[in-house]
Structure 1
């Protein structure tokens, strides 16, 4: 489990695709073999460490469902170690490291020192995003400012822009998206029950 607060940006050194895909990233993160690390929001396990080189085996499912399949040597990636329960504040939001889908950047606008970032959202995930709710983009915990018909709008503060891989993004680039787990459970509940049942459930809560 993660918080969506990126600890550092690493750089891809190598990607080998034989029996399994192995991605090696240059990073100074303090980790050991077996630790979980989110790369662009995808939870992976450290399988080898050589000096500052961290290597991860990536399953076919992860390659299929994330933007890791588009990575090339020298690409920057967002890195976050798994959270430590009960030791530090949960400053972001609950991020599982299970990417829901890969989307693309619709637009990027400069608003003084801030940036306005629009990301496409497929209709099948529309119910899981709400204005002022949380979402993870390439593993970064962000707040949704507005929800439109097929995209969401995010405001990126200078610190987040400068200390994640967002500064490299261009229109049309791929990003990993993980919607809020609470929103997914609510959407699942709404699929299972009709409106009258949902209204009754809410009335009982009140």
Structure 2
């Protein structure tokens, strides 16, 4: 479990495998400190298990399903990724509860500078959009964000300067793909409601 507060930007330094499964090597510093095999790390919003830890990098295995439903199917060496270690029970939740189980991929369709912020419009499919509400939480590439506006097939979020500096959002542009995870509480409520009708 994560909270969507990115600890650092990492770099994909190695990649092996293909559509049937891949192993990624990720270089980082803050997240790497004290990291052990078997622990969970959110990599751009995707919960992955650490399989190997070396001096300044760690490796994760990526399943075919994860390659299919996330942006990892198109990641290349040198790509920047948001990194967050899993929560502990004694820490504050400064974002919102994020499972690291991505619902799908969104596409940035607009990027505008508004005051001190960067406002992004992100297009998603109907299955994801139905779980988005104004002022609700959404994890985009692992970053906990508040939805400012709902459009026909997209939602809008604002990135403050600190978030732009500490995450990959500072370098995101129109056309870029991002991992989307909607609020899990809303999904549970929907599931319970549907089940109660039968």
TM-score bracket, shorter-length normalisation:
over 0.9
SS at match of 2:130: helix
Q: Is the 8 A contact 1:143 1:154 kept in 2?
A: yes
Query: Are positions 1:116 and 2:130 aligned together?
Result: no
Query: Are positions 1:127 and 2:105 aligned together?
Result: no
- TM-score, structure 2 normalization: 0.93
**Which portions of structure 1, spanning 4 or more consecutive aligned residues, are displaced by more than 4 angstroms?**
none
Partner of 2:43: 39
Partner of 2:148: 145
Structure possessing the higher radius of gyration over alpha carbons: 1
- TM-score, structure 1 normalization: 0.90
Partner of 2:53: 49
For 1:191 and 1:34, the matched residues in 2 are separated by: 36
Q: How does 1:114-193 map to 2 (within 5 A)?
A: 114-192=117-195
For 1:115 and 1:21, the matched residues in 2 are separated by: 33
Q: How does 1:13-92 map to 2 (within 5 A)?
A: 13-17=13-17, 20-28=21-29, 29=31, 30=33, 31-85=35-89, 87-92=90-95
Structure 1 gaps of 5+ residues are 195-206
Q: What displacement does 1:190 show?
A: 4.2
For 1:20 and 1:43, the matched residues in 2 are separated by: 15
Q: Mean alpha-carbon deviation: is it higher for 96-105 or for 122-131?
A: 122-131
CA RMSD after TM alignment = 1.6
SS at match of 1:88: coil
Residues 191, 122 of structure 1: CA spacing in aligned structure 2 closer, same or farther, 3 A cutoff? Answer: farther
Q: Is the 8 A contact 2:122 2:155 kept in 1?
A: yes
For 2:76 and 2:129, the matched residues in 1 are separated by: 31
Aligned residues: 194
Q: What displacement does 1:63 show?
A: 0.8
Structure 1 residues 101-150: Cα deviation after superposition (integer angstroms, max 9, x where no partner) = 01110110011321111111211223211000000000000000111111
For 1:11 and 1:27, the matched residues in 2 are separated by: 7
Q: Is the 8 A contact 1:131 1:146 kept in 2?
A: yes
Structure 2 gaps of 5+ residues are none
Query: Are positions 1:93 and 2:96 aligned together?
Result: yes
For 1:125 and 1:170, the matched residues in 2 are separated by: 21
